[in-house]
Amino acid sequence: MDDLAAVAPLAGGGFIVDVGDFNGPLDLLLSLIRDEKIDIYDIPIARVCEQFLVRMRDLALNEAAEYLEMAARLLRIKAHMLLPRHDGQDNWDDPRAELVRRLLEYQQMREVVDVLERLGEDRRNRFARSYSPELAPPPQAPLALSLAELLLAVDRVLRAARKPTLHEVISRSLDVDGAIITVRAVLALRAMARWRDVIRPDPEPWEVLSCLLALLELAKRNELRLAQLKPFADVEIRREFAGEAA
Amino acid sequence: MNSLAKLLEAALFASPRPIPTDELAVLDREASPAAVQAALEEIREHYDVDGHGVELVEQGGGWQILTRPEYTEAIERAQMAVRPTRLSGAALETLAIIAYRQPIGRADIAEIRGVDAGAILKSLLERGLIEVVARGEGLGRPLMYGTSPLFLEQFALRHLEELPRVDELAIALRREPQPL
Amino acid sequence: MNSLAKLLEAALFASPRPIPTDELAVLDREASPAAVQAALEEIREHYDVDGHGVELVEQGGGWQILTRPEYTEAIERAQMAVRPTRLSGAALETLAIIAYRQPIGRADIAEIRGVDAGAILKSLLERGLIEVVARGEGLGRPLMYGTSPLFLEQFALRHLEELPRVDELAIALRREPQPL
């Protein structure tokens, strides 16, 4: 471990940790269990909880929501453990069970990470040919298309379209899905948009509401970010996640 | 091959461009220019005498391993033959609508087909058969799609006017009843 | 090498990606699968016995010629090729979860890791190691991710089944087997 983010040895533990080494609260918890040589199936929850809080403080992780959530979870389990148990009761639900399951699952995944790391490193040390000759393979398998196919498709469309289109008249409700499609389409074209790009001029109230709900929903899904630089300024809609493009 | 020749072979294989002789010398500072030259000769001879599908050539300001010309045709042919994909019926329909109605937006396509074509539009865009050609009027200024130059190329058309007119279609279809 | 082996060598040389056996067979329609297999063996043996800077490996769903690891450092030092950057621990975690649980959505990945992986998913998508393979059920129809062919290639796997089975993992888990 380097000394970049290292902290001084702790009074109780006597070890040095590095924030950069942890990939989350489960990772931190697992390293704690390893360092303290704790049996994962019988975690002394009070001690572990205390250690976890100490490490959080020393690593300045107090602000990180996921660590706070884990701390709360540990405190809750600790409280459950203190509830009186009746002697001879076989079907006691160990309040640690869920945590143990998650830790084991996480540990298993870390093992896979070790395997991947080894395999990936091995492959990284070999070069494939990078020169692309004139006959570079097509990015996609070539298409087999014929005009006849296209025309048959036109025919199908025409036949289907000849059926009379019946419109069902319903009272206007919100169309959030439609607004989501619109916003995605706009953001597929440009990384940043403004309110007036995603809504038509003189919108009806239901359109404004639909669009607003769509923006909030997409922001929640991390597809975009909303920002207003100053009060009453234009709201900026920024694309966040390329994978979600229209 | 000797170890310098093997190193040079690996470097020539991994490099995206031809490597000049003096740059090859950087690979092994112990090696004299004469040794590098000899190693290159060894590789070249090995490829030629031993019977390989590749050869070592000096061109473009440096050394390069290239596939032998007698195999390029077979390789190109194989690449063309490799699993040519067909468009699905739904994709063809969408493409047909766009070809005849361009510029057209997603909502109008859905109106004609009776189902939404979002995923199909995306894949047609990815295949380069259609393009976003404009923004429409109305709610959210929808994207308007049209066919691309590649579309014409794929169907061996010089321009869009070569597509049969809709009233000609029935005849054209009867004349060429191709199963999909 | 025989003429089929030379043809296969040329094709393998021309491709930066692994070529599946059945695609290699397309190169010469006269050749039987056994002949193709024998020719591949001949190339492999030739590279190994004769002393080459490259070798033939079967991985990533196909066959690929790669440089031997002992030359990597010299090639990189001479700036003739660059190794891809190493993936972070967090990225490998996410990749491991996706490899074993695909198709899986962002929320389930976060549940297992205890941390959100939004930014990591994006960079794995950009590197082409994962793909959107489906849309899940439920609110907002979340994107479901799976590993890509490039994943197999970059981790030198012939197929996903080459990853250790869950019951081959940690001893701790044998006491209380959990499906990963």
In this prediction, the residues of chain A whose per-residue pLDDT falls under 50 are: 1-19, 134-139, 162-170, 242-246
Whether pLDDT at C146 is above 70: yes
Note whether C105 and C136 are within 8 A (CB): yes
DSSP secondary structure letters along A125-166? TSPPP----TTPPPSSPPEE--HHHHHHHHHHHHHHHHSPPP
Question: Please, which residues have CB within 8 angstroms of residue C61's CB and are 6 or more apart in sequence?
Answer: C18, C20, C149, C152, C153, C158, C159
Distance CA(B139)–CA(A196), nearest Å, equals 10
Whether pLDDT at C12 is above 90: yes
Three-class secondary structure of residue B134 per DSSP = strand
Band of pLDDT at residue C69, cut at 50, 70 and 90: very high
C133's tokens = 């393979």
* Chain C residues close to A137, C-beta within 8 Å: 15, 17
Distance CA(A100)–CA(A107), nearest Å, equals 10
Say yes or no for a CB contact (<8 Å) between A124 and C173: no
Say yes or no for a CB contact (<8 Å) between C155 and A116: yes
Q: Minimal CA–CA distance to A189: which of B110, B125, B57?
A: B125
Band of pLDDT at residue B92, cut at 50, 70 and 90: confident
Distance CA(A222)–CA(A218), nearest Å, equals 6
Band of pLDDT at residue B159, cut at 50, 70 and 90: confident
Distance CA(A94)–CA(A225), nearest Å, equals 42
Q: Minimal CA–CA distance to C27: which of C42, C41, C10?
A: C10
pLDDT for the residue B60: 77
Say yes or no for a CB contact (<8 Å) between A108 and C143: no
What average pLDDT does range B96-118 have in this prediction? Answer: 86
- The model carries a pTM of 0.60
Neighbours of B91 (CB within 10 A): 19
What average pLDDT does range C86-106 have in this prediction? Answer: 92
Say yes or no for a CB contact (<8 Å) between B78 and C51: no
Say yes or no for a CB contact (<8 Å) between C53 and B16: no
The mean pLDDT value of chain B amounts to 82
Q: What percent of chain C has pLDDT over 90?
A: 43
What average pLDDT does range C25-35 have in this prediction? Answer: 90
Subunits close to A (at least 3 CB pairs below 8 A): B, C
Three-class secondary structure of residue A13 per DSSP = coil
Does A119 reach chain B within 8 Å, measured CB to CB? no
Q: Going by DSSP bridges, is the β-strand pair A143-144/B85-86 parallel, antiparallel, or unpaired?
A: parallel
Say yes or no for a CB contact (<8 Å) between A108 and C67: no
Whether pLDDT at B41 is above 90: yes
Query: Which chain B residue's Cα is nearest to C78?
Result: B27
DSSP letter at A234 equals: P
Subunits close to C (at least 3 CB pairs below 8 A): A, B
Give the pLDDT confidence of B7-23 residue by residue, as tens digits.
999 999 999 888 999 89
Give the pLDDT confidence of A80-99 residue by residue, as tens digits.
888 877 666 666 778 888 89
Does B74 reach chain A within 8 Å, measured CB to CB? no
Q: How far is CA B91 from CA B124, B136, B169, in A?
A: 8, 22, 19
C-alpha Rg value of chain C to the nearest Å: 20
* Chain C residues close to A127, C-beta within 8 Å: 66-67, 72, 75, 81, 83
| ipTM confidence score | 0.67
Alpha-carbon distance A116 to nearest alpha carbon in chain C (angstroms): 7
